[in-house]
Structure 1
Amino acid sequence: MPASRIESLRLPLRRVASTLQSPMTTYAALAAAFSLLLIPLPELPEAMSPLVNGAHIPLFALIGLLVRSRFPATSGWGADLATLVIGAAIGAGGELLQYWVPGRYPSIGDELLDLVGLPLGIAAWRLLILPWRTDS
């Protein structure tokens, strides 16, 4: 592949990494993601339950990626562990607040799904964002 073609493929990932380094972008996206946990839901058919519950995994993969992006690229596994702790606290807080949201209820199962999504977000950060960070 010609060098210009390879460079054109790298540019979007470099832009994404640069955008994630902006605190305002990250905090706004985290607030938007967290607010999805607090949207009142109508009574849904039982067949929709796996779909709604399964949405916790990609949502918390995004949260894991966003939280991990706030740590320096060189901070290593300690930042990954901190990301898991912060993400678990966000998930637990969201589940607790659902007690007061119509159509929502707190669930340990949902928190476990959150804990599945967080490492996926950390892995995505390591594979897709870390190589393009400007502070590494």
Structure 2
Amino acid sequence: MDEKLAFQIRQISKYYERLKGIAQTSREDYVNNSILQGATERYLQLCIESCINVGNRLISMLQVDQQFEAPKTYADVFRELEKHRITQDLEPAMIEIAKFRNRLVHVYWDISPEVVYNIIHNNLEDINRYLKQIALYVTDNNL
């Protein structure tokens, strides 16, 4: 497997597991723990960025043989993956996750702990599905 791709896949897995562990925290304990909130936001940001990096790496590796459009936005990364059937039924969810990454980075002061708590409870599985679909594609195509 491509070394850069393998590294980013491991990163997604690592951050996903950390976030999954944090999701075991009760809502009350989470809302009252600013250190846990900060760590969660950072792990979520890094996890999403790793998803974007994996998509970008795959697109760059496959551009030679296939007609990929160079992504102009993070959302475009997930559109291209779906268009070329690398992922299936994940485009809307991953685009929303990418939008949330932008909020984490650029509007961090306006993110409530409840929103992040809801994301790790309601959207974390989308990242896991993405990870599984990418890993399957990479394996099936000897990348």
Shorter chain as normaliser: what TM range?
0.3 to 0.5
By relative contact order (CA 8 Å, sep 6+), the higher-ranking structure is 1
- Which structure has the larger Rg? 1
Give TM-score, length-normalised by structure 2.
0.35
Give TM-score, length-normalised by structure 1.
0.37
